[in-house]
Amino acid sequence: MLFNKLLTDVAIYYESVLSESAKAYLFGRGIHNPSQWRFGYADNKLTQRLVTMGLTVEELYNKGLCNEDGTDFFRDGIVIPYILDNKVQTLRFRSLKEKQYLSLKKSSPLYAELFFNLDALVSNPSSLFICEGEFDTVMLAQAGYSAIGLPGSQVIPFGFEQELGKVKNIYLATDADKAGEDCARVLVNRLGRTCRRLKLPEGYDITDFILKFGYDFFKSLIQESVDYEPDLFKYEFDDVKQIPASYQSEVAIINLILKSPHLTTTILEQLGIHDEKDKRYFCNPITSSLFSTILSLYFKYEPIDLATVVDVASVPKTRIIEIFELCFEERNLPTYITNLVKAYLGRDCIDRSRRILEYGTKKSATKEGLENRIREWQDCIVQTNPMATNVLRGEYLIRERMLQVQRRMKRKKIGTGFQQIDRLLTAGFVVRGEMSVIGGRPREGKSAFKANLIRNLCEMGCCVVNVSPEQGIDSEHNRLDSVSTGMPLKDFFDSEKLKTNNDFYEVVQKNIEYITKSWKYHLLPSRDITFSGLVSNLERINEQSKIDVVFIDLFDKLKEITQAGAETRYMIDYLLNECNILARKMDIHICLLHQIKRLSNSNKKSDSRPTLEDLKESGRFEQDSYLVFLLHRRGLHFKDEPDDTMDVILAKQKDGICGDNVAITLDWSRETLILSDHEDDKM
């Protein structure tokens, strides 16, 4: 998520004016340390304060912080900041006069649908409580329980199913009323798994219960909690329940196909399905009908995606969406397929046994006939390995090949924006489902090259995500502003010029406003980001705007790698493989920036140009990448040469010309970091 300075400043102001009456109210609700949660108070003076700082009422109204008449949107109540990674993400409000909760308007750029206290998931708890509201969450967190809170019973955030799926035990701590019951039902269906529901007395919430009975009695609630199953796994067909079945695996297979259609061929081949009418592995009417729809689309070479399935399936749209929103992990696919096969074999054995009994009771039955039927029954229970190596043949090979050709025909070729580079790229730069690497030694210009690529791609209309585990928002946008405006980079660090040059300030402001309004650009400037945190953020962004390319600068600075110690090389290789899987799963291009170690004086080459051999020393970057660009500036290494060009070495390209000697020379401005096509391109 983007770091928003205005939102942070607003939260700090509210916190600074937390009144004694507000503290007394919080104390009465059992919250003894409001500063820990950075609670604040809306004193009706925020708009006035921000206007004196140069903002207009219209700007504040558009951001949802005030009403059209200039009065504060939040008035006379507790302000609750939602904080993640020590950054304020959005605000909620609890009025002390009208006893109601408010969120920022959905039209506000400061609005976000999140769980309260998401940092509770950072420690990977084995048990987690999901509460209905922020104060209930604080009450449990104060007692040492891992808890997150919903922003009310009517708003259940999307995009967190994967993180919650890692928690072993989830307790639903919603209020004991109809709204709380409905909320718990939606939650358990969204998660697609069995949870535990706390049995509060009628009309109570967590805070009321603890204030009246204490934390010791709360422990008894945990012990007496009951299983709460998704509706999706409850059916009216009692006869179906009496035979072997794996309802959760059936739902999981449908869910994974809808989210990752490329898995369809693998699943069908491993189940041995060669006919669009073969749905023997699904015995639930809903999943069976959906699987029939998927098979029909598959054997007609039509796309298998959520929109198409919803359009042609006989299952109600709401049930399909319900299945789609569940969280099942691709790594568990072997288990789901094994469960389906075992359940089918069990049903088939029961059916054959029934037929043997029916035959044995007939007067025309013979010993030979009975032995033949028993032999067939024994053959059917021979266990096969449903996860055997996937071999494409017959109709699977035809379909997979034609799908690849169709995708290539539909794919828009997206280059780098530099003509001399793009003419050498067979499939362009943004190749979906693939990974590229930009490598170079320290100070070679990797981040500057990235800033130029971001500018070019965003101007082409691409959706770009800039992940920066090494740099903060200031460093990232100093480069991007310099590349976009043509102003010298050093001016951004000159505090005197910033103070005295109003034109400079206005240019920067106009540029960032242009970027936010005209580009599909997202920045993740967290220096403490993990790979799992990165995946979660990308999935949320992808729900709003289809991502084209993700830059990770520097890949080596992801938290798992920096903490790997002696296992750094192993961790790099592991995360490179995960990046490749992520690129294919999300159908995006991932570009990694990687720093090649500097040469020692005794080991310098005549021109200091990096090669693929240098990259191989760091891990499997070359092996796992579709493209590898290596950067080199002669002017950086040889002081008698002007530092006005950059060589971009196309060291690897899976489907085209490449090599350590294939170099494109770009004109380079050391002052502004701007790169442009060079007239005399060197090959």
Domain 118-229 has CATH 2.40.160.60: no
String of b and e for 419-442 (b: at least 16 CB within 10 Å)? Answer: ebbbebbebbbbbbbbbbbbbbbe
For residues 273-280, average pLDDT: 82
What pLDDT is recorded for position 239? 38
Backbone angles phi, psi at 583, to 5 degrees: -60, -40
What pLDDT is recorded for position 542? 84
Residue in this structure with the two tokens 């709401």, named with its chain if needed: 318
Cβ atoms < 10 Å from Cβ of 565: 7
Q: Which of 100, 115, 162, 189 is nearest to 533 (CA)?
A: 162
Give the list of residues 6+ apart from residue 55 with CB closer than 8 angstroms, or none. none
Confidence of residue 394 (pLDDT cuts 50, 70, 90): low
Rounded Cα distance, 158 and 169, in Å:
20
Do β-strands 169-173 and 435-440 pair in parallel, antiparallel, or remain unpaired?
Answer: unpaired
Confidence of residue 210 (pLDDT cuts 50, 70, 90): very high
Rounded Cα distance, 262 and 259, in Å:
9
Residue 337 has pLDDT above 90, yes or no: no
Please confirm whether the linkage preceding 554 is cis (ω < 30° from 0): yes
What pLDDT is recorded for position 601? 54
Residue 203 forms beta bridges with which residues? none
What Rg do the C-alpha atoms of the chain give, in angstroms? 30
Rounded Cα distance, 146 and 655, in Å:
50
For residues 676-681, average pLDDT: 75
683 versus 358: the higher-pLDDT residue is 358
For residues 336-340, average pLDDT: 85
Q: What is the pLDDT of residues 231-263, one digit of tens each?
A: 655 443 333 334 566 777 888 899 999 988 888
Confidence of residue 612 (pLDDT cuts 50, 70, 90): confident
Top-confidence range, 162-176, 271-285, 368-382: 162-176
Joined tokens for residue 452? 């130029």
Residue in this structure with the two tokens 């040492």, named with its chain if needed: 144
What pLDDT is recorded for position 384? 42
Do β-strands 675-677 and 520-524 pair in parallel, antiparallel, or remain unpaired?
Answer: unpaired
Q: State whether residue 107 is helix, strand or coil.
A: coil
Looking at 1.20.1250.20, 3.40.50.300, 3.60.20.10, 1.10.3720.10, the CATH number of the domain 419-677 comes to 3.40.50.300
Q: Which of 342, 346, 343 is nearest to 354 (CA)?
A: 346
Residue 44 has pLDDT above 70, yes or no: yes
Give percent of the chain with pLDDT exceeding 70.
89
Strands in 478-582 per DSSP E: 520-524, 549-552
Q: Which of 509, 467, 469 is nearest to 485 (CA)?
A: 509
CB 465 within 8 A of CB 524: yes
CB 125 within 8 A of CB 168: no
What pLDDT is recorded for position 236? 37
Backbone angles phi, psi at 92, to 5 degrees: -125, 165
Confidence of residue 387 (pLDDT cuts 50, 70, 90): very low
Do β-strands 195-197 and 520-524 pair in parallel, antiparallel, or remain unpaired?
Answer: unpaired
Q: Which of 438, 386, 382, 432 is nearest to 408 (CA)?
A: 432
Cβ atoms < 10 Å from Cβ of 611: 16
Confidence of residue 638 (pLDDT cuts 50, 70, 90): confident
Judge if 118-229 and 238-380 fold alike in CATH terms. no
Rounded Cα distance, 300 and 564, in Å:
48
Rounded Cα distance, 618 and 613, in Å:
9
For residues 88-109, average pLDDT: 86
Distances (CA, A) of 505 to 55, 244, 476, 478, 498: 15, 70, 17, 12, 7
Q: What is the pLDDT of residues 432-461, one digit of tens each?
A: 889 999 999 888 999 999 999 999 999 999
List, edge to edge, every strand of the sheet that includes 589-595.
520-524, 463-467, 549-552, 589-595, 435-440, 627-632, 645-653, 663-668, 675-677
Q: What is the pLDDT of residues 513-563, one digit of tens each?
A: 999 999 999 998 877 788 877 887 888 888 788 899 999 988 888 888 888
Residue 272 has pLDDT above 50, yes or no: yes
Residue 169 forms beta bridges with which residues? 127
List, edge to edge, every strand of the sheet that includes 147-150.
147-150, 127-132, 169-173, 195-197, 226-228
**HEC sequence for 28-44:** HCCCCCHHHHCCEEECC
What sign does the dihedral 177-179-182-188 (CA atoms) show? negative
Q: State whether residue 462 is helix, strand or coil.
A: coil
Domain 5-103 has CATH 3.90.980.10: yes
Rounded Cα distance, 270 and 281, in Å:
12
String of b and e for 34-64 (b: at least 16 CB within 10 Å)? Answer: beebbbbbbbeebbeebeeeebebeebbebb
Q: What is the pLDDT of residues 354-385, one digit of tens each?
A: 777 777 777 787 878 777 777 666 655 544 44
Top-confidence range, 53-57, 298-302, 410-414: 53-57
Residue in this structure with the two tokens 């990687």, named with its chain if needed: 594
Rounded Cα distance, 194 and 83, in Å:
28
What pLDDT is recorded for position 675? 95
Residue 288 has pLDDT above 50, yes or no: yes
What pLDDT is recorded for position 379? 57
Structural domain spans, the chain: 5-103, 118-229, 238-380, 419-677
What pLDDT is recorded for position 80? 95
Cβ atoms < 10 Å from Cβ of 182: 13
DSSP string across 572-606:
HHHHHHHHHHHHHHHT-EEEEEEEPPPPPGGG--S
Rounded Cα distance, 544 and 344, in Å:
39
* Mean pLDDT over the full length of the chain: 84
What pLDDT is recorded for position 67? 92
For residues 487-492, average pLDDT: 86
Which range, of 240-244, 273-277, 483-487, 550-554, averages the lowest pLDDT?
240-244
Give percent of the chain with pLDDT exceeding 90.
36
**Greatest alpha-carbon span in the chain:** 108
**Domain 238-380 belongs to what topology?**
DNAb Helicase; Chain A (1.10.860)
What pLDDT is recorded for position 393? 57
DSSP string across 332-373:
GHHHHHHHHHHHHHHHHHHHHHHHHHHHHTSTT--HHHHHHH
Q: What does pTM read for this prediction?
A: 0.51
Rounded Cα distance, 293 and 298, in Å:
9
Cβ atoms < 10 Å from Cβ of 670: 18
What pLDDT is recorded for position 232? 56
What pLDDT is recorded for position 352? 75
Rounded Cα distance, 80 and 46, in Å:
15
